[in-house]
A and B are shown apart, each in its own frame.
Chain A
């Protein structure tokens, strides 16, 4: 099941020595490990912050750090974060390293600049910061894994002349004037082949006969191309570079510029954003109110039903997209959770959590900041909702399939791009897409465009953007502000809450601004919302008053609370309505009993009430001829017979039952507890600590013990693994192998697909089969 490969070797292309032998810090830099050791604390911390997977768990030393930094998954992840300029320089460095005639792998800045056709110094430094290059007195060195990750055809170049199999290398590739001579001789067909292959892809298929076939043979004979597989040829790299004029790309890379539209007044942007933020808080409260009383079932697949969502959308008067966003956001912020037992006796349902109560007691700005941060770090991608899964099913809200961790990076990128212009600048969506593509050239463009659209929409609902421009709080969010900083800034943008209502004779109550806290909860209980916006119009009806009375309030309490909250006297019709409903409220009572006794002999029933032997049945008289009991009918019959009475059992329709009563049932079991919180994200402080530990040689490294409890829920296992693969870092995996032995492993997973988990443990790559994983826990 496991394939082994030395990852540590890759750390130093120039030397074959293990990095662990470089104990001497002052010695010459001969590997990435040496380079890392000579870096300052700040530089190391930067590395850990850019590539957080390197710091978790804390590596045992610089050798281990270097080894981890050169694993394929880690390098792959680092490359994905490069922008177009950095990627170009990385490609140029790889090509230059392979072209080095001495085979030393040393790359000079000049060589890179020539290939990249533009300024490179800055990008080189950034690649070095990321640990993709290391520096020795001779020059730059490329981490060999980078070569692998960038593939066999960097920048669309073919194999190098050195790699051409000797039996085909009849002559070395022509250079300089020789190439010109060859080109002059070339037939039109040969020219056409060269033109096709020059700017990549470098490999083409050759027909079995005809002029193109002949031209290909001629090019091979001249050493310009080399055969690659049956019926294919590859343009030799050195030739391609000469044909490209020594450059890697046709166009020099240029930072895209955005034409920001004339800016809007930042104060207006903040005001509108603040209003959106307020709306969001109200909607979350209403969501919690509704799902707190009528919780929708958790579907077998883990999501929530389409019908429940449609009903919610209608109730809240928002679009279905916004409802999806709201529900996922509430879940991400921990305000929604599963209630009930998974064993199915009490079906599981989605309901507000206890955290919701804590959250709702906080100030508006704090509540909002918590939501916004939950959104920014939420690995769930709402653009996937509604996508087809095959077999006629689609991705549902709150289902595990919505999880797609890369969405966080894109979200963050969008915010950062929006933060580029001055406050109040407005960006066109197409330009944003272009800038995003430049920032992350390796990302899939159509996915990015989809996520961009959804992110812009959600940012507006959140109040992070307004009128197409980033708000002040949005800007802070993009800069990585803390929750407190966000809350402080948000507080000044949001409209001030009001503490009063205006009660009117048409039985409406109007809050002329946002409401907060207990008053908001009370008004939502005692009335229904009729219109939303800057103000809220509530309608008080017989039904809503009944709801308030059902929750235990009395008519006087309702009226007192209304009187307190209102700046105007309580209108007489409202007073009358509340009292009128209260008059009828509770006229009919419903209760639960498991058995009843009825007899026309009232004194017999009085005797039973007084009979001590019947005390366990908890009898109660509800009418002169009727008693009720909390005992099961069967046990009540037994008890009565033991007491010397002669009861008969009655069916629900009043007929006499002579057979045995129905079989019995055990009561419902306990519910399970919630899941562990995820590992904290690596921040600047934490990175500093990791660096300190690295410096202290005595630190025992991998000595961390396996956790006592692993997540065993299948959906949780998948979620944790997806999360770890996306974030980097390590995870404990409980595993039962094919012989039935169980074990625990601390591994760094890098790929999770097709029911298999590909992970690296120290320097070996291991493949775990998903259905044999018994549990996981974040390290």
Chain B
């Protein structure tokens, strides 16, 4: 009986005992093929999925390495069926390859003829294929490159895309490393992406994904299309690119609801691309406006369905996805894999925190008790009203006030979901309020003030969830959220994780109403925090 740090479970999860002397070796051995699912303090859970195994194949690992890693580090006997399953699954990747034929263009080539026969008979795939060139090769309609990959993955025969990329229109871009330099993991991420051709880089919030994007652009030195979640994020990308690269104001265009500039580097929002007029996408021409050499997708886990469909037609261009998590709440991980590409780089949150690149955080859940009268109102309320009632209880205001007082002087964000609640809070705390209705100019002014330390306290709505950069926020108090969204929790926590100048610990408070659906949803979010390795405490409001 070996005494390894790893325990292989029959449901294909791997438990890694982190305090074990050889835990780090084991982690490195399994990281290429297993997704880290939970990372609480003692035992981390990884899951082996077909996508994970194919990601490993795409990164050049073979089944033998995977099985060897399991056998070497496993404490108990590894279930035989699991090993067989892993070998089977991995061998499915790459039996079909998409290649560029010198004469015929895009072709699908098979190393295993029965698989090709199976694929040729599939009624959804058949129309995407053309003439059979030889027993192992079949012509693919160039426009179907993405759809074909999507369908092949669906039937369990993921194709390896070796057809290469167009270089695109060249445009010189260089990093300007003045007073800063790329961190080692950022460099590895860029290298991993560039060698893989296309794919996704997974980095925690605050770890500097924008710089990875800039690095990739410098490597490509070609015209680039950057797709981001909203206008504020677009502005921040622009600022960051101006600061980090040789690009000038004139070379960067913004393509959003308000401006429609097309420049060598164009930053567009998901929203504007998804706009439909009379049933057609109004701004599709952007995709063909230039011969893009690189397409960057920010927050790829939020990519909306229409963009997926457009991406299917962009398969000949290099694509870089940036995200903090591969987990999509809509379960479309497979589309990310087939359309953007396999995972090219991944660094666990905790590792980067340990290296000092992101700040440690102290997470506290504060439970308030509803007063008797509110409990009655809550008890007789319609189910769909309950969450709002529980979230917006006035009792939370006093708690928020206490917390704000406690952290006087530290840059603090109060984050919420419901506007009237935020209004009241802003009035009580005498702090500026930022919502979706706040004009962009006003927003940027407030953010700038906050960054400069002139405004110590901001009350913000959901707009703060994505991609606003508030480097010095060190306290966040959330009073309500989008039900149990783990994604939102990750984003909000991410606001705090940029390293502080003085190495302070960030504080993350959730104010929750006891014995209501609010507490149930909070439990769901808390579990996410614990699984990410953040110790959290629960305290009663009275104890504050």
Chain A residues in contact with chain B, CB under 8 A? 268, 271-272, 274-275, 279, 317, 466-467, 495-496, 502-508, 510, 512-513, 531-535, 537, 568, 571-573, 576, 584
In the bound complex, do residue B9 and residue A573 qualify as a contact, i.e. CB atoms below 8 Å apart? Answer: no
A504-B8 contact given A512-B17, A534-B77, CB 8 Å threshold? no
Q: B250: CB under 8 A from chain A?
A: no
Q: List A contacts of B40 (CB < 8 A).
A: 504-506, 508
Q: List B contacts of A513 (CB < 8 A).
A: 75-76
- Within the complex, the shortest CB–CB distance from B313 to chain A, in Å, comes to 41
Offer 15 A-B interface pairs, CB within 8 angstroms, sorted by A.
A272-B80, A466-B80, A467-B80, A503-B42, A505-B40, A505-B530, A508-B40, A510-B15, A512-B7, A533-B8, A534-B77, A537-B9, A537-B15, A568-B42, A571-B41
- Extra contacts, 13 of them, besides A505-B535, A506-B530, A573-B537 (Cβ < 8 A), are A502-B17, A503-B42, A504-B530, A506-B40, A506-B527, A512-B7, A512-B17, A513-B76, A531-B10, A535-B7, A537-B13, A572-B538, A573-B530
State the majority secondary structure of interface residues on B. mixed
* Nearest-neighbor residue (CB-CB) of B537 within chain A: A572
Q: List A contacts of B43 (CB < 8 A).
A: 502, 504, 508, 510, 512
Q: List B contacts of A271 (CB < 8 A).
A: 1, 76-77
A505-B1 contact given A572-B538, A573-B536, CB 8 Å threshold? no
In the bound complex, do residue B76 and residue A495 qualify as a contact, i.e. CB atoms below 8 Å apart? Answer: yes
Contact with A along B515-536 (1 / 0, CB 8 A): 1000000000011001100011
- Within the complex, the shortest CB–CB distance from A654 to chain B, in Å, comes to 23
- Within the complex, the shortest CB–CB distance from A143 to chain B, in Å, comes to 50
Q: B451: CB under 8 A from chain A?
A: no
Q: B229: CB under 8 A from chain A?
A: no
A531-B11 contact given A504-B530, A505-B535, A510-B42, CB 8 Å threshold? yes
In the bound complex, do residue B79 and residue A533 qualify as a contact, i.e. CB atoms below 8 Å apart? Answer: yes
- Within the complex, the shortest CB–CB distance from B34 to chain A, in Å, comes to 14
Q: B38: CB under 8 A from chain A?
A: yes
- Within the complex, the shortest CB–CB distance from B366 to chain A, in Å, comes to 12
Q: B45: CB under 8 A from chain A?
A: yes
Q: List A contacts of B531 (CB < 8 A).
A: 506
Bound-state Cα–Cα, A533 to B80, Å: 12
Bound-state Cα–Cα, A532 to B15, Å: 11
A532-B537 contact given A502-B42, A505-B41, A584-B515, CB 8 Å threshold? no
Residue from A271, A512, A513 having most chain B Cβ neighbours under 10 A: A512
- Within the complex, the shortest CB–CB distance from A59 to chain B, in Å, comes to 51
Q: List B contacts of A571 (CB < 8 A).
A: 41, 535
Q: Which of A275, A504, A505, A568 contacts B76 (CB 8 A)?
A: A275
In the bound complex, do residue A534 and residue B7 qualify as a contact, i.e. CB atoms below 8 Å apart? Answer: yes
- Within the complex, the shortest CB–CB distance from B544 to chain A, in Å, comes to 15
Q: Which of A275, A531, A572 contacts B13 (CB 8 A)?
A: A531
Give the contacts of B60-112 with A (CB-CB under 8 A).
Answer: 74-77, 79-80
In the bound complex, do residue B538 and residue A534 qualify as a contact, i.e. CB atoms below 8 Å apart? Answer: no
Bound-state Cα–Cα, A271 to B530, Å: 34
Contact with A along B16-50 (1 / 0, CB 8 A): 01000000000000000000001011110100000
In the bound complex, do residue B530 and residue A507 qualify as a contact, i.e. CB atoms below 8 Å apart? Answer: yes
A275-B77 contact given A535-B9, A573-B536, CB 8 Å threshold? yes
In the bound complex, do residue B15 and residue A495 qualify as a contact, i.e. CB atoms below 8 Å apart? Answer: no
Q: Which of B45, B76, B536, B537 contacts A534 (CB 8 A)?
A: B76
Bound-state Cα–Cα, A535 to B8, Å: 8
Q: List A contacts of B42 (CB < 8 A).
A: 502-504, 510, 568
Bound-state Cα–Cα, A507 to B38, Å: 12
Q: Which of A495, A504, A510 contacts B1 (CB 8 A)?
A: A495
A532-B9 contact given A495-B76, A504-B530, A572-B537, CB 8 Å threshold? yes
A507-B76 contact given A512-B17, A534-B7, A535-B9, CB 8 Å threshold? no
Bound-state Cα–Cα, A506 to B13, Å: 16
Residue from A271, A275, A506, A508 having most chain B Cβ neighbours under 10 A: A506
Residue from A268, A467, A510, A513 having most chain B Cβ neighbours under 10 A: A510
- Within the complex, the shortest CB–CB distance from A646 to chain B, in Å, comes to 39
- Within the complex, the shortest CB–CB distance from A263 to chain B, in Å, comes to 15
Q: List A contacts of B7 (CB < 8 A).
A: 512, 533-535
CB-CB nearest 8 A-B residue pairs: A534-B76, A533-B9, A506-B530, A504-B40, A535-B7, A272-B77, A505-B530, A576-B538
* Nearest-neighbor residue (CB-CB) of A270 within chain B: B77
In the bound complex, do residue A534 and residue B75 qualify as a contact, i.e. CB atoms below 8 Å apart? Answer: yes
Q: List B contacts of A532 (CB < 8 A).
A: 9-11
A317-B11 contact given A505-B536, A512-B17, CB 8 Å threshold? yes
Bound-state Cα–Cα, A374 to B80, Å: 26
Q: List B contacts of A495 (CB < 8 A).
A: 1, 76
Q: List B contacts of A568 (CB < 8 A).
A: 41-42
* Nearest-neighbor residue (CB-CB) of A533 within chain B: B9
In the bound complex, do residue B15 and residue A535 qualify as a contact, i.e. CB atoms below 8 Å apart? Answer: yes
- Within the complex, the shortest CB–CB distance from B445 to chain A, in Å, comes to 40
Q: Which of B11, B515, B530 contacts A533 (CB 8 A)?
A: B11
- Within the complex, the shortest CB–CB distance from A267 to chain B, in Å, comes to 9
* Nearest-neighbor residue (CB-CB) of A534 within chain B: B76
- Within the complex, the shortest CB–CB distance from A569 to chain B, in Å, comes to 10
- Within the complex, the shortest CB–CB distance from A626 to chain B, in Å, comes to 23
- Within the complex, the shortest CB–CB distance from A490 to chain B, in Å, comes to 15
In the bound complex, do residue B530 and residue A534 qualify as a contact, i.e. CB atoms below 8 Å apart? Answer: no
Bound-state Cα–Cα, A568 to B43, Å: 12
Bound-state Cα–Cα, A663 to B381, Å: 44
Q: List B contacts of A572 (CB < 8 A).
A: 536-538
Bound-state Cα–Cα, A537 to B9, Å: 9
* Nearest-neighbor residue (CB-CB) of A272 within chain B: B77
- Within the complex, the shortest CB–CB distance from B199 to chain A, in Å, comes to 30
Give the contacts of B487-544 with A (CB-CB under 8 A).
Answer: 515, 526-527, 530-531, 535-538
- Within the complex, the shortest CB–CB distance from A457 to chain B, in Å, comes to 12
Bound-state Cα–Cα, A505 to B42, Å: 9
Bound-state Cα–Cα, A476 to B75, Å: 27
Q: List B contacts of A496 (CB < 8 A).
A: 1
Bound-state Cα–Cα, A531 to B41, Å: 18
Bound-state Cα–Cα, A290 to B9, Å: 22
- Within the complex, the shortest CB–CB distance from A460 to chain B, in Å, comes to 9
- Within the complex, the shortest CB–CB distance from A95 to chain B, in Å, comes to 50
Q: List B contacts of A576 (CB < 8 A).
A: 538
Q: List B contacts of A272 (CB < 8 A).
A: 77, 79-80
- Within the complex, the shortest CB–CB distance from A587 to chain B, in Å, comes to 11
In the bound complex, do residue A507 and residue B527 qualify as a contact, i.e. CB atoms below 8 Å apart? Answer: yes
Q: List B contacts of A317 (CB < 8 A).
A: 11
Q: List A contacts of B526 (CB < 8 A).
A: 573
Q: List A contacts of B10 (CB < 8 A).
A: 279, 531-533
Bound-state Cα–Cα, A500 to B433, Å: 51
Bound-state Cα–Cα, A194 to B42, Å: 83
Bound-state Cα–Cα, A572 to B362, Å: 13
In the bound complex, do residue A531 and residue B77 qualify as a contact, i.e. CB atoms below 8 Å apart? Answer: no
Bound-state Cα–Cα, A532 to B75, Å: 14
Bound-state Cα–Cα, A495 to B526, Å: 35
Residue from A467, A503, A507, A573 having most chain B Cβ neighbours under 10 A: A573
- Within the complex, the shortest CB–CB distance from B20 to chain A, in Å, comes to 10
Bound-state Cα–Cα, A565 to B455, Å: 50
- Within the complex, the shortest CB–CB distance from A538 to chain B, in Å, comes to 12
Residue from B9, B10, B77 having most chain A Cβ neighbours under 10 A: B77
In the bound complex, do residue B75 and residue A512 qualify as a contact, i.e. CB atoms below 8 Å apart? Answer: yes
- Within the complex, the shortest CB–CB distance from A542 to chain B, in Å, comes to 8
Bound-state Cα–Cα, A503 to B76, Å: 21
Bound-state Cα–Cα, A535 to B531, Å: 18
Residue from A279, A505, A576 having most chain B Cβ neighbours under 10 A: A505
- Within the complex, the shortest CB–CB distance from A276 to chain B, in Å, comes to 9
Bound-state Cα–Cα, A569 to B527, Å: 18
Q: List A contacts of B38 (CB < 8 A).
A: 506, 508
Bound-state Cα–Cα, A764 to B492, Å: 91
- Within the complex, the shortest CB–CB distance from B80 to chain A, in Å, comes to 6
Bound-state Cα–Cα, A139 to B535, Å: 90
* Nearest-neighbor residue (CB-CB) of B528 within chain A: A506
